[in-house]
Amino acid sequence: MTGTTAEQIALLLIVPFPVPGPQVRLAYRELNLAINGTEEQKKQIGNPALLPRPWEPSTCLNAELRHQVWQWLEEVVTWLNHEYSWDVGAMIPTCWPAHPHLVHEIAVVADQRRRAGLAMTSDALEEWHRYCLPAFGDRMGAKLKSHCEDDHVAWPGRSRHNQHTCDRDTSDRNDLYASDIHALADRSPAPRPPTVAPRLGLVDLETGEIKSELTNPDDSPDPEG
C-alpha cells in the first residue's frame, strides 16, 4: 500500500486507508475547484462535465491517471479484505477486476471512504460503516453467490447477454421503440385553427350607420380622449 510496506502491515493492528496517487489527487483537486474555486479557476478548468471522476473509472481517459486509479482500487480492495473481512465469504474475490459490477461499486466505495476520512467529524465515516460498506457486501454476495470462491468462474450470463445483443432481438426492441413513438404521435392533439379577431365597429346609435371598423378591441378610441 502507498507509504506502508508489507512488513509494516504485518506489525500494525490497523492499517490506514490507502492514499491515491498524484494524478488521482489532481483529478479530485480539479473537481473541487470546479465547485468551490474562483471564477478564474473555474474558467481555466473548462467544462466540468468533461473532468475525470475517479469514482467512475471509465471517465479517466488519461493513461497515467487510469493506471493510478487501478493501482488505488487494488490497494483499497486489499485494505478492505484485511480490515473489514473476517469470514472468507465476505472477502472481495481476487478476480474482482474481471467483474464489471464489482469495479463500478468498489470505485464508489473507495471514493465514499476517502471523502469520509477527510471530514472534520466522524459522522460521514459512521454512515459509511452503517450504510455504504454493508450494502456493498450484500449486493456482492447476491450477485456472486458461490462463484469465484477459489478460482474465477466465467460469466454465467454471457449467453443471455449475447442473445440480448444479437441482431434479431435488437431489431425486435427497435420495432417496439418505434411503435411507442408512433403511438405518442397519434395521441398528440390536432393543431387548433388560428383564432380570428372579431370584427368590431363604431355605430351611430341614431342612424345605425357603421362609422368605422376595428380589427382589434384595443384599437377602440379612449372614451376619455
Q: How many helices (H) and strands (E) does the chain have?
A: 9, 2
pLDDT of residue 5: 64
Residue 53: which residues within 8 A CB-CB, separation 6 or more? 27, 31, 59, 60
pLDDT of residue 180: 87
pLDDT of residue 150: 66
pLDDT in tens, 119-154: 999 999 999 999 999 999 999 999 887 777 767 777
Give me the residue spans of the domains in the chain. 55-145
pLDDT in tens, 185-194: 887 776 777 7
Residue 223 has pLDDT above 80, yes or no: no
Find the range with the poorest average confidence among 59-68, 158-167, 205-214: 205-214
Closest CA to 76 of 131, 163, 2: 2
Average pLDDT, the chain: 86
pLDDT of residue 144: 83
Distance CA 98, CA 154 (A): 9
pLDDT of residue 28: 98
